[in-house]
Amino acid sequence: MVKITYAPISELVIHETVRIDVDDLIRSRLTPAGVMPLYWCNGILFSFASVPMNDDLTEDYLKGVIHWMEVHYTEKKSYEEVMELNDEAFSPKLKVRVIDTSASALHNDFVKWLKTRKEK
């Protein structure tokens, strides 16, 4: 039988957080590759940009350390599967899928950290 090892993330390094308006957060998900999803976890709607992988970051990753270069977020008490942007520049309305990641230990820990940080 194949040995299976579970090695969860041991550290999340966040290089910057930016609280932005929900409409700007939705707009930020429009890319040349299409509309990227947003994440929702325990009252926080967010997106993050990972650092492009290189040898050093790959080594970190294998040790359980990941890096998020920038996190954009806003408060959103309730989860919605799809959010729409009401902006005349987008016709039809820009729709963004939202993924409920409240079952993710990593995302829960991030949201707890973010909520304590913003209170200071």
pLDDT at 9: 95
The model's confidence at residue 119, banded by pLDDT at 50, 70 and 90, is low
Span 93-102, pLDDT tens digits: 788 999 999 9
Judge residue 52's burial from the number of C-beta atoms within 10 Å of its C-beta, 0-12 exposed, 13-18 middle, 19 or more buried.
exposed
Span 18-28, pLDDT tens digits: 999 999 999 89
Count the domains in the chain: 1
**Residue ranges making up the domain that contains 86:** 11-118
Please report whether residue 38 resides in a domain: yes
Q: Is the pTM of this model over 0.85?
A: yes
Please report whether residue 73 resides in a domain: yes
Nearest residue to 72 via CA among 13, 14, 112, 3: 14
Please report whether residue 22 resides in a domain: yes
Please report whether residue 1 resides in a domain: no
Q: Is the pLDDT of residue 72 over 80?
A: yes
Please report whether residue 112 resides in a domain: yes
